[in-house]
Structure 1
Amino acid sequence: MNKVQMDRIRTGKGFIAALDQSGGSTPKALLQYGIKEDSYSNEEEMFNLVHDMRKRIITSPEFTSEYILGAILFENTMDRTINNQFTADYLWEKKGIVPFLKVDKGLTAIENGVQLMKPIPDLDNLLKRAVEKNIFGTKMRSVIKEANCEGIKKVVRQQFDIGKRIIEAGLVPIIEPEVDIHSPDKEESEKILKYEIFNQLSSLGQDEKIMLKLSIPTKDNFFSDLVNDSHIARVVALSGGYTQREANERLARNQGLIASFSRALSQGLTAQQTDEEFNAMLSNSIKAIYAASIT
């Protein structure tokens, strides 16, 4: 583990950019960016277009370590280059931004009110490649739809079981048990979730560190005791489908919680914009999300 990067993640001012839309969510991300599905005819063309989008964001003069601590990449992005450097190396060496990798393979069908992660059959090999590509940490997502004790317990246990393998590989896992923002019992789910997270934290070794990526809580500062836990390097928040403005307003009311936004970060960016228009829009978004993250 890179100690300079760990210090930056633990104590730095800023937020984490989530640039990790995968196969299933890429068409939606491209559509939001102004590229219709008839613009590409296969997966390779689709991933070329989404890499161009990510490259445009990452190489923008507005995308800097002054505001951004880390960036989460999709596996395909990790294996590609930006200006003749692998993406993770470009992020850290040229921008001072810590690289993370999304490792999950998507979600299972809903059972007990939750969606667990699908099996990750090639995880050990993926983690080995991530270490070789100078990745600092990983991210994996599950979804909680209902305040179901059994389901939430399974989500958290699965996350921590895989998280421990990630720690053993020398990486820092971002554990993401997302509570659906449209859930009618979201607040109750968050209470159960926090209880289960503390249960699992007690099973970690003294020096083992994780990060958490959580939905912005219904009750302000509900996660402050997690923010202050010695096992947790940082607690970051997902935008979860809120507009950028609403996500920022909610985030700003939670001290110590920082953003890890995807849709809310790229909101308003299009392929049709000139570089001047694109950079101006990105700058406004970055500064607004940063301001909400440092409250």
Structure 2
Amino acid sequence: MDTHGQMQRTVERLTSSGRGILAADESYPTITRRLSDHGIESTEENRRFYRALLATTPGIGEYVSGIIFFEETLGQKTDDGTLIPEACEQQDIVPGIKVDKGLVDLPGSDGEKVTQGLDNLGDRLDGYRAQGALFTKWRNVYAISEGTPGIQALEANAEVLARYAAIVQSRGMVPIVEPEVLMDGSHDMARCAEVTEAAQTTLFAALRRHNVRLEAVILKPNMVLPGKDLPRPTPEECAEETLKVLRRTVPAAVPSINFLSGGQTAEEATANLNAMNQLDGPKPWVLSFSYSRALQNPVQAAWNGNAANREAAQQAFLKRARLNSLARKGEYAASME
């Protein structure tokens, strides 16, 4: 297998002009929580119907280049019996898969977390590939408090992310690395910037140590924002602080930076991405989106668990994806909402 050629083709598809990535990879507890916010029960049929609705939205391939799924979805079918990964390919959307197994306590730390899931990862990837997945995602989290994250948590998480990325690339798949600095708390932007810079610096040192090919990695970082308890900054302030950190930490070899939307409203996430693409100065990477809630919240609200609302839900998805596609080009305006 020509792993380099395969990864290169996947990267080209994922980074193609005006498109971004949808994260629809919520684990059972997370999807249950998100759906129940809209009064929807998280049954297997509801999850199948919902994720098939996303993948089969007419025209969505114009704005979405890849969808990250939870492993259950790879084996599920659309209403007409097509496997969901195949339905994605029909719209030139690359099917992807979340491969980490969630957070566990990091022994010896001050209550910090590390992500698990490296055991048997290679074998699992072989199975996911056979089901059509061409890229993967692994998420680490860093909580900000007075004393955290500590060096131990930064280094343990970076090591795990780098080992994951190396295993994924050995299978000819493209790894998304997600070092998420959480928005929970009352820290200011400067503190978020400091922690984000430390997390990414440690991560890229580990990726190099593990001989990960940077040209076939996608970074999924948080934006630099103050904690949830503080007033929201302008999109321009967010863009400036975020790009300052990225320029210090992310090598130009990395093809794409696809932001997560954690803790932001749908409109805020779009406006912040737009401001980054409008800002002057060097930007050697594609700056795009890999949103979960900021793309899906309006869709779930429109669907409401009722099959009759499928078209309304798909229209809500199309609208948000189109607005984020414009933001990826720096052509979004709030008046378009």
Match status 1:261 vs 2:276: no
TM-score (norm 1): 0.87
Match status 1:97 vs 2:93: yes
Number of aligned pairs? 284
Match status 1:108 vs 2:104: yes
Whole-angstrom distance in 1 between the partners of 2:180 and 2:310: 34
AA partner of residue 263 (structure 1):
R
* Structure 1 unpaired stretches of 5+: 38-45
| Number of the residue aligned with 1:180 | 182
| Number of the residue aligned with 1:216 | 223
Report deviation, 1:16. 0.2
Whole-angstrom distance in 2 between the partners of 1:22 and 1:127: 17
Report deviation, 1:235. 1.3
AA partner of residue 175 (structure 1):
V
Q: How does 1:185-264 map to 2 (within 5 A)?
A: 185-203=191-209, 204=211, 209-218=216-225, 219-221=241-243, 222-224=245-247, 229-230=252-253, 232-255=254-277, 256-264=286-294
The SS at the match of 1:246 is: helix
Whole-angstrom distance in 1 between the partners of 2:182 and 2:63: 27
Pick one of 264, 279, 282 that aligns with 2:314. Answer: 279
Report deviation, 1:234. 1.7
AA partner of residue 223 (structure 1):
L
Q: 1:100-136, CA deviations, whole angstroms, 9 ceiling, x for partnerless residues?
A: 1001111113644642112443322210011212211
Of 270-279 and 281-290, deviating more is: 270-279
AA partner of residue 169 (structure 2):
I
Q: 1:248-269, CA deviations, whole angstroms, 9 ceiling, x for partnerless residues?
A: 1222222342111111111122
- Summarize the Cα distance change of 1:224–1:11 in structure 2 as closer, same or farther, 3 Å threshold: farther
Whole-angstrom distance in 1 between the partners of 2:315 and 2:298: 11
Pick one of 164, 170, 177 that aligns with 1:162. Answer: 164
Pick one of 120, 125, 128 that aligns with 2:126. Answer: 128
AA partner of residue 119 (structure 2):
P
8 Å contact from structure 2 (residues 14, 21) kept in 1: no
Whole-angstrom distance in 1 between the partners of 2:263 and 2:212: 35
- Summarize the Cα distance change of 1:19–1:174 in structure 2 as closer, same or farther, 3 Å threshold: same
Match status 1:70 vs 2:66: yes
8 Å contact from structure 2 (residues 48, 77) kept in 1: no
8 Å contact from structure 1 (residues 220, 253) kept in 2: no
8 Å contact from structure 2 (residues 162, 212) kept in 1: no
8 Å contact from structure 2 (residues 204, 250) kept in 1: no
Report deviation, 1:228. 5.5
Of 4-13 and 75-84, deviating more is: 4-13
8 Å contact from structure 2 (residues 99, 136) kept in 1: yes
- Summarize the Cα distance change of 1:100–1:225 in structure 2 as closer, same or farther, 3 Å threshold: farther
Report deviation, 1:10. 3.5
AA partner of residue 257 (structure 1):
L
- Summarize the Cα distance change of 1:13–1:61 in structure 2 as closer, same or farther, 3 Å threshold: same
The SS at the match of 2:220 is: strand
| Identity, % of aligned positions | 23
8 Å contact from structure 1 (residues 148, 189) kept in 2: no
Whole-angstrom distance in 1 between the partners of 2:52 and 2:102: 24
